[in-house]
A and B are shown apart, each in its own frame.
Chain A
Amino acid sequence: MFDLSGRVVLVTGASRGIGRAIALELGRAGAAVAVHYHHRADRASEVVNTIEGLGAAARAFAADISDRGQVDALLRAVGEWKGRLDGLVTSAGIFRGPSVEEVDAADWTELIATDLEGTFRSVQAALPYLRRSDQAAIVTVSSVLGSHPAVGGVPYQAAKGGIEQMTRALAIELAPAIRVNAVAPGFIRTDINRTGHEDPTFHDQVARATALRRWGEPEDIAPAVRYLLSREADWVTGIVLGIDGGIALR
């Protein structure tokens, strides 16, 4: 079930957090994984080594996802690696939580360029390769904050909301050949959320607000991405799958 043998998949932001867990899960499913990273070459090579230890192929690729030229170069390098690309997971992203008054022009630009434009540019640059695959699929990464508002971090929430509508619009425009879906994680214990889950009060508030009474782990997100990339999800496109422990039910 949900086997990805023979597929080549690029995971952006794969050196840490959710992207790392996704890369490892795809390796377990038999995919050859292109592990994209920005700064942490050491962490990326650890991910590559772990995937190779599982018996799957992997290679690390560096790029600044907010830079159009670097994204184009990234996809060219990944496309040449195995001569094909079947899947793209756009997990690269940053989080900032300033109040509205604190958001300056540079914050806005950086957030939107990385999370929103970075996702779109990755898809755009991957298309020439994905169009040649007979089982092409894209999974974008939103957040519960892409559809449920919270105080602080308007640029992040606007970017994630944008990713959800981008996902639906891409699903229509790239149909029937390429499937496009999103996952929307809730509160997950990653570096991006470190200030949140290391604050005992906030940690408990989130856990109590979550139906399943805990924070999520990166490993909670990865199997859904594997399913959405698999042949078994061939008739699934344009969905945003919440993986949030039921935090937004009420």
Chain B
Amino acid sequence: MNDRSTLASAKVLVTGGSRGIGRAVVLAFARAGAEIAFSYRRDSAIARSTAQEVAALGRRAYHRASDAADPTEAARFVRDAADALGGLDVVVPNAGIAPTTGFEGVEPARWAELSSTLLVGPYATVDAARPYLRSSRGSVVLVGSIAGLRAYPEELPYSAAKAGLLSLARSLALAYAPEVRVNAVAPGWVHSDMTRTLYDSPRGRAAIERTTPRGRWGEPDDVAAAVLFLASEGARFITGETLVVDGGEQLAWRVGMLR
């Protein structure tokens, strides 16, 4: 996208695009005039409804089920998406997994599940997309988390994997430069299916509101706008960056918020 003025007719791949942040990213790019390919893990009814929303905006939405945590499947989805759209300009490996593990006796299987979903899968997606992005001078936006920037003993493997993902953004930025830009967003507490349990408990919801300087939960659209900006021509000199979208939560260490 480095040589285009807008995202109109850009070819955009989003993994985990049927719900939550991924869905908001898909719709934001569609509103900007892009052609979309998105994967989803299981729920074809929800995916169909997201695809219909894209179609209602007059844009194309190639979509099919694909396990973004499986490197072989991830690479196959990238090839199918590039075939369907006729290339790729923007890749957003967004597929994630809910963080609920704690810090005691984390099973090797859980480590494997989190690292394959949050590290191996995104890497496989980006690596398979590299030739397409090189020829389009495109860009990648990884979806990290502020859990990767701060201590989260309640979510140890998730937090460690997200820290790894933010590191991946920096290294890939250098590896793919100058043709392809690679950046990340690091969302805070965003209201979506993944965080519904906490959001639906009155105490949990209020606790996040209290520790977030902006005083509210994030919405998927808040994150989608940041992804869109990083993928746009306006971000042509930005690479290897992490754009934190968290209502200021990463600033709010305990003493700092005292009055």
Residues on A close to B: CB < 8 A? 1-2, 168, 171-172, 175-176, 179, 186, 211-214, 216-217, 220-221, 223-224, 226-227, 230, 232-239, 241-246, 249-250
A250 touches B251 (CB 8 A): no
Which residues of B are found within 8 Å of A217, using beta-carbon distances?
237
Q: Give the CA-CA distance A212 to B256 in the complex, in Å.
A: 37
Would you give the shortest CB distance from B59 to chain A, in whole angstroms? 15
Q: Which of A168, A176, A236, A243 contacts B238 (CB 8 A)?
A: A243
Q: Give the CA-CA distance A246 to B173 in the complex, in Å.
A: 7
B234 touches A212 (CB 8 A): no
Which residues of B are found within 8 Å of A236, using beta-carbon distances?
222, 226, 243-245
A176 touches B213 (CB 8 A): yes
Which residues of A are found within 8 Å of B213, using beta-carbon distances?
171-172, 175-176, 237-238
Would you give the shortest CB distance from B207 to chain A, in whole angstroms? 16
Which residues of A are found within 8 Å of B170, using beta-carbon distances?
249
Which residues of B are found within 8 Å of A233, using beta-carbon distances?
225-226
Q: Which of B234, B238, B241, B246 contacts A235 (CB 8 A)?
A: B246
B240 touches A1 (CB 8 A): no
Question: Residue of A at shortest CB range from B224?
Answer: A232
Check if B248 is an interface residue, CB within 8 A of chain A. Answer: yes
Q: Which of B228, B243, B251, B252 contacts A1 (CB 8 A)?
A: B228
Which residues of B are found within 8 Å of A246, using beta-carbon distances?
173-174, 177, 239-240
A249 touches B225 (CB 8 A): no
Q: Give the CA-CA distance A245 to B246 in the complex, in Å.
A: 24
Question: Residue of B at shortest CB range from A230?
Answer: B225
Check if B103 is an interface residue, CB within 8 A of chain A. Answer: no
Q: Give the CA-CA distance A230 to B226 in the complex, in Å.
A: 11
B174 touches A211 (CB 8 A): yes
Task: Given A172-B252, A235-B214, decide whether A212 and B239 contact each other with a Cβ distance below 8 A.
Answer: yes
Would you give the shortest CB distance from A32 to chain B, in whole angstroms? 21
B251 touches A223 (CB 8 A): no
Q: Which of A211, A221, A230, A238 contacts B240 (CB 8 A)?
A: A211
Which residues of B are found within 8 Å of A212, using beta-carbon distances?
177-178, 181, 237, 239
13 A-B interface contacts by CB (under 8 A): A172-B257, A186-B237, A211-B174, A214-B178, A220-B236, A220-B237, A223-B229, A233-B225, A234-B222, A241-B241, A242-B241, A244-B238, A246-B240
The 3 closest A-B pairs by CB, nearest first: A223-B234, A175-B213, A220-B237
Which residues of A are found within 8 Å of B232, using beta-carbon distances?
223
Q: Give the CA-CA distance A220 to B237 in the complex, in Å.
A: 6
Check if B116 is an interface residue, CB within 8 A of chain A. Answer: no
Would you give the shortest CB distance from A184 to chain B, in whole angstroms? 10
A211 touches B214 (CB 8 A): no
Which residues of B are found within 8 Å of A227, using beta-carbon distances?
225, 229, 234
Q: Give the CA-CA distance A243 to B241 in the complex, in Å.
A: 8
Task: Given A242-B241, A246-B173, decide whether A175 and B178 contact each other with a Cβ distance below 8 A.
Answer: no
Check if B218 is an interface residue, CB within 8 A of chain A. Answer: yes
Q: Give the CA-CA distance A250 to B167 in the complex, in Å.
A: 12
Q: Give the CA-CA distance A241 to B230 in the complex, in Å.
A: 11
Which residues of B are found within 8 Å of A239, using beta-carbon distances?
243-244
Q: Give the CA-CA distance A217 to B233 in the complex, in Å.
A: 13
B248 touches A171 (CB 8 A): yes
